[in-house]
Structure 1
Amino acid sequence: MVDRGLLYREWKQNQVVILLSIVFLVLANPLTIYHSYSLNESCLAHSDPKLCAFFVDYHIDSMIQVNWVIGIILAVCLVGLERSRGTMDFLLGLPYTRSQIFQTKFWLGAVVIVVSQLIGFLLAWLLILFLKPEQVNFFEHGSIGVMITSIMFYSLVMAAGSLAGNAFAQLLTAFATSVLPYLIIVLPFSNIEIISGVQVWRLFPNVEYYFDFENNLMDFSPIAYVDSSWVAESKYLLLIPAVMSILFYFIGYISFIKHHNERNGYFFLWKTLDRPIQILVIVLGILGFGIVGHSAGESIAGYIIGMIIGGIVGFLISYFSIFKKVRR
């Protein structure tokens, strides 16, 4: 599964990034507690003690909310930058299986993300016992949830790296995937409203059902977990990013071991994806710019002009990003 020689190679190649990631993830949680404590001390020094309260709220003020960024950085360093530099070709030529290479890379980053945050959780818990805040909100739920969302984004970007031919393509693919579940529903609905003149929410029993549907749809969009509002919702909501993490892992694993043609410098390693993704980008461009054109002109003419511009923009973006080879 994980090869020691490969593990050492990955460690030496990404040593600085890994060490900085560990330091950040370990300290983020304790610093959240200390930050709240320092604010309380500052309040006590300048205000009436009755007006000051030492509490920690992981929904409002938490440094761990950006821990998911570390997962993205690690995934780009482990896969995307290797493809951009061309060192992945050398690695694939070594006497290791593709499965060993992917498993070593994936689990190295996953262990760094999880173990570092577990240590940070323990340090924060000890700090809470020592400083004794009056109230702590969502400590366990927030800390564990951030671990899950960090792994989800890490798995997503690793999967994108297994499909893409360079770091830029990896990030763009991951971002597009993170918003795609929302776009493929909302954009068509918005265009239906413009064409038919019937507001979509009227098709639901009442407006509350419509907003519930929209919120539930966002729960299946990875980008929704960038915002910390999920902390205050049901604890079972975290099952969605947990399942998505597993799904992205298998997508990345299968893609990495199956795509033997590296297509150096191209957007996708799998040539079959080029045309369908180009068509999708053009369609989304048409629908998106159509809405913008209608909003600007409040007319069907503006809507049509926006769709034409969107089609041209979508074609140019997809053509120059997907079909044009990137020079190294």
Structure 2
Amino acid sequence: MVDRGLLYREWKQNQVVILLSIVFLVLANPLSIVNTYLSYQGCLAHHDPQYCDFIVNYRVNNLIGINWVPGVILAVCFLGMERSKGTMDFILSLPYNRSHIFQTKFWLGGLVIVLSQLIGFLLAWLLILVYQPEHVYYFEHSSVGVIVISFMAYCLLMAAGALTGNVFAQLLTAFATAVLPYLIVALPAGNVEVLLGVSIWELFPSPKAYFSLTSNLLYLVPISYVANEWLANSKYILLIPSVMSILFYLIGFISFKKHPSERNGHFFLWKRLDRPVQILVMSFGILGFGLFGYYSGNSFIGYVLGMVIGAVVGFFVSYFFIYKKTKH
């Protein structure tokens, strides 16, 4: 599955990025505990102890909330940068099949992300035992959840990198995928409200049912996990990003193995994706600009004009990004 020669090559090629990612992911969790403890000590130094509480609450934003960033950087270095610099052609010319190349890249980054955070979790747990805070909230749930979410982000970027021909295309495809479920639901729903003159929530038995459905649908949007609202809900919600990780891994593996690599510099390596994605971009442009035009002047003239502008903008944006080859 993972070849030692390829592993050594990836290590030498991305040594600095890998080491910095390990250091950050190992220290992020314990440093959050240390920061909370130092804040508590600072409170004791300037206020009466009865007004100072030493509480570790992972629902409050802390350093591990950006643990998904190293996964993004690693995926870009492993695939996007190789495509943009043209060195991917050299790797593919080596006496290794594509499966071994992708598996080596994928699992090297995956192990860095998971094992580093597990070490950080252990160090944070030891610090909690040493400092003995009054209360600890969401420690295990948040720590494990961030591991799952950061791994999902890494899988998403690796899948995007296996489909695209340069760094910009990889990042843009990953971001578009991260918000795609929301766009697929929100834009058509907004246009239905304009055309029918009725709010979507009025079609539900009660406002509570509507807001319950919309809040649950947000968990199907990968980018929604960047915020920590999922902490207060069931721990089984983490099964969703876990399944997404498997799906993104399979997409990346199959794409890297089956799709051509000779379209260097193009947005997508698989030419058949160009037209469907262009149609999708134009559709979102029409729906999005139509809503903007309507709510800008509260008129159907603005709505139609916005749709026309959206179609033109969507066409030129998609044409420029998808069909124009990027020079190495």
Q: TM-score range by the shorter chain?
A: over 0.9
Shift of 1:225: 0.2
CA distance in 1, matches of 2:262, 2:250: 19
CA distance in 1, matches of 2:306, 2:216: 29
Map of 1:157 onto structure 2: 157
Q: Residue deviations 1:71-127, cap 9 Å, x none?
A: 111100100000000000110011000000000000000000000000000000000
Q: For 1:113, give the aligned amino acid.
A: I
Map of 2:15 onto structure 1: 15
Q: For 1:137, give the aligned amino acid.
A: Y
Shift of 1:303: 0.8
The percentage of aligned residue pairs carrying the same residue is: 65
Q: Secondary structure at the match of 1:142?
A: helix
CA distance in 1, matches of 2:287, 2:164: 25
RMSD: 0.7
Q: Residue deviations 1:286-318, cap 9 Å, x none?
A: 101111111111111111111111111111110
Superposed, 1:52-67 pairs within 5 Å as: 52-67=52-67
Work out whether residues 83 and 167 of structure 2, in 8 Å CA contact, stay in contact via their aligned partners in 1.
yes
Shift of 1:61: 3.2
Q: For 2:314, give the aligned amino acid.
A: G
CA distance in 2, matches of 1:294, 1:44: 56
Map of 1:129 onto structure 2: 129
Map of 1:116 onto structure 2: 116
Q: Secondary structure at the match of 2:220?
A: coil
Q: For 2:286, give the aligned amino acid.
A: I
Q: Residue deviations 1:35-84, cap 9 Å, x none?
A: 10011111111111100000111111321010011111110010000000
Deviating 4+ runs (over 3 angstroms)? none
Mapped pair 1:299 → 2:291: no
Map of 2:318 onto structure 1: 318
Superposed, 1:70-219 pairs within 5 Å as: 70-219=70-219
Map of 2:253 onto structure 1: 253
CA distance in 1, matches of 2:289, 2:208: 28
Work out whether residues 163 and 269 of structure 2, in 8 Å CA contact, stay in contact via their aligned partners in 1.
yes
TM-score with structure 2 length normalisation?
0.99
CA distance in 2, matches of 1:261, 1:13: 20
Q: For 1:255, give the aligned amino acid.
A: S
- Of 106-115 and 213-222, the range deviating more from structure 2: 213-222
Shift of 1:228: 0.9
Work out whether residues 260 and 270 of structure 2, in 8 Å CA contact, stay in contact via their aligned partners in 1.
no
Unaligned runs of 5+ in 1: none
Q: Secondary structure at the match of 2:37?
A: helix
Q: For 2:3, give the aligned amino acid.
A: D
Q: For 1:170, give the aligned amino acid.
A: Q
Work out whether residues 32 and 61 of structure 1, in 8 Å CA contact, stay in contact via their aligned partners in 2.
no
Shift of 1:262: 2.9
